[in-house]
Amino acid sequence: MIPYGRQTISDDDIAAVSAALRNSLITQGPVVEAFERQFAAHVGAKHAVAVNNATSALQLAMRVAGIGPGDRVVTSPITFLASANAAVYLGAVPDFADIDAATYTLDPAALAREWKPDTRAVVAVDYAGQACDLPEIARVARSRGAVVIGDACHAVGGSFHSAAAPGRSWRLGGNPWADMTVFSFHPVKTMTTGEGGMLVTDRQDWADHARLLRTHGMVRERDHFVLPADDPVLGEKGPWYYEMQDLGWNFRMTEFQAALGISQLGKLEGFLARRREIVAAYNAGLADLEWIHVPRLRHPEDVGTASWHLYTVQVDFAAIGQTRSEVFKALAAEGVLAHVLYIPVHLQPWYRKVYGYGPGKCPVAENFYAHAMSLPLFPTLEDSEVRHVIESVRRLGRSAARTVGVAA
């Protein structure tokens, strides 16, 4: 069976993890710090804060930006639950604006149209590895006093071009339009630490606050203590001493996860190049089918910079006379495991119950979901397997053509 995604782990990755496990300190130590420095340099940000997963990174980003009760956070409905859930954890109201029909990313026009006065943050999701229209999203958000949090969990290592700033590419995490950016290192993403995430920003105060919150809001460094030497109980500050100065969480990353991250980071460009090759092959093999719409780029130069975590097509299931379940079953019989990414978050039962959201709120996203199908995409996918996926999909149309006259 060919899954929709799979981690790419080699012997040098295993050796790096093994070496880290032999160190005396195996959590939140010098290897994590090295990973943060190298990742920040790679994306072009001044500061990086490693955490246990990207959900935590989103939560930290909102917290250091001052998001809390009474605030609204707007994101795309076509994303994983975490993009909205992070706002809920802080007592804020999660809300959704519709997507662009071509790129499946947050539509700046919909964002402006649906804007509410209590909106304090926008979480701009780079769906499938293609960047949002960050310059336009930032224009809408910043003119109304809101921060822009880039959700680049699908787009580690990605860059984008913009008509708003032509002549160069801009790194996700290292551009002037996102105030902070978060990344995911889940196994199916473009690089992995097993689980793990990263927050990057150019603001020293936000990075420092995120590091404090990452470890229960606790400090052990004498230069940062706030209680005076004459405190009646805690005046003596020996080597055992620590202070909790804010209410934080345990969001720490382990040393061996960071070691895997450093090893994977060194291979990231190769991973991305292979993903782009596979996407190009899929596009060439499927673009002529009338009942499938292959992914489209916002800017033609992004063909060499989009990171392509997912390959999601839009399928006219009615045109081939099959339901999505029937299509998935037929592909599985060929050894191809397709997936749907994602169910619109605003239609989840909990969001309907708590916030009253429902069908019709984001019609473009709802139409996207009705036709979405993600095909296998990962760097170790062999050329023969890519051809097999293409042929398996094309066979769906040929089978339908015999009965309903669909072009195959």
Tokens of 264: 């994977």
Residue 39, pLDDT > 60, answer yes
Residues 6+ apart with CB under 8 A from 129: 154, 155, 158, 190, 275, 306, 307, 308, 309, 310
Residues 6+ apart with CB under 8 A from 134: 124, 148, 150, 160, 162, 170, 175, 177, 178
Tokens of 156: 């580690």
- 3 state SS for 275-311: HHHHHHHHHHHHCCCCCEECCCCCCHHHHHCCCCCCE
pLDDT band for 406, please (50, 70, 90 cuts).
low
Answer yes or no: are the C-beta atoms of 346 and 362 closer than 8 Å.
yes
Answer yes or no: are the C-beta atoms of 269 and 304 closer than 8 Å.
no
pLDDT band for 340, please (50, 70, 90 cuts).
very high
Q: What pLDDT shows up at residue 105?
A: 98
Q: What share of the chain has pLDDT > 70, as a percent?
A: 98
Q: Are strands 147-151 and 311-315 parallel, antiparallel or unpaired?
A: unpaired
Give the span between the Cα atoms of 188 and 397, in whole angstroms.
29
Q: Which residue has the tokens 């070691």?
A: 259
Give the span between the Cα atoms of 251 and 210, in whole angstroms.
10
Answer yes or no: are the C-beta atoms of 98 and 77 closer than 8 Å.
yes
Mean pLDDT of the chain: 96
Tokens of 184: 């995911």
Q: Are strands 243-244 and 218-219 parallel, antiparallel or unpaired?
A: antiparallel
Which H helix or E strand runs over 45? none
For 11-265, CATH number? 3.40.640.10
Answer yes or no: are the C-beta atoms of 49 and 35 closer than 8 Å.
no
Tokens of 152: 């680049």
pLDDT band for 399, please (50, 70, 90 cuts).
confident
pLDDT digits (tens, 9 = 90+) for 107-143: 999 999 999 999 999 999 999 999 999 999 999 999 9
Give the span between the Cα atoms of 312 and 329, in whole angstroms.
17
Span 299-325, average pLDDT: 97
Alpha carbons within 13 angstroms on the beta-carbon side of residue 38 total 17
User: What DSSP string describes 351-381?
Assistant: HHHHH---TTSSHHHHHHHHHEEEEP--TT-
Give the span between the Cα atoms of 156 and 48, in whole angstroms.
13
The CA-based angle 195-192-365, given to 5 degrees, is: 80
Tokens of 25: 């300190």
Q: What share of the chain has pLDDT > 90, as a percent?
A: 97
For 268-404, CATH number? 3.90.1150.10
pLDDT digits (tens, 9 = 90+) for 213-265: 999 999 999 999 999 999 999 999 999 999 999 999 999 999 999 999 999 99
Its sign, for the CA torsion 209, 212, 216, 221, is negative
Q: Which residue has the tokens 């224009």?
A: 139
Give the span between the Cα atoms of 185 and 57, in whole angstroms.
11
Tokens of 169: 């590419």
List the domain boundaries for the chain.
Answer: 11-265, 268-404
Give the span between the Cα atoms of 215 and 247, in whole angstroms.
9
Span 80-101, average pLDDT: 98
Nearest-CA neighbor of 221 among 235, 239, 199, 200?
Answer: 239
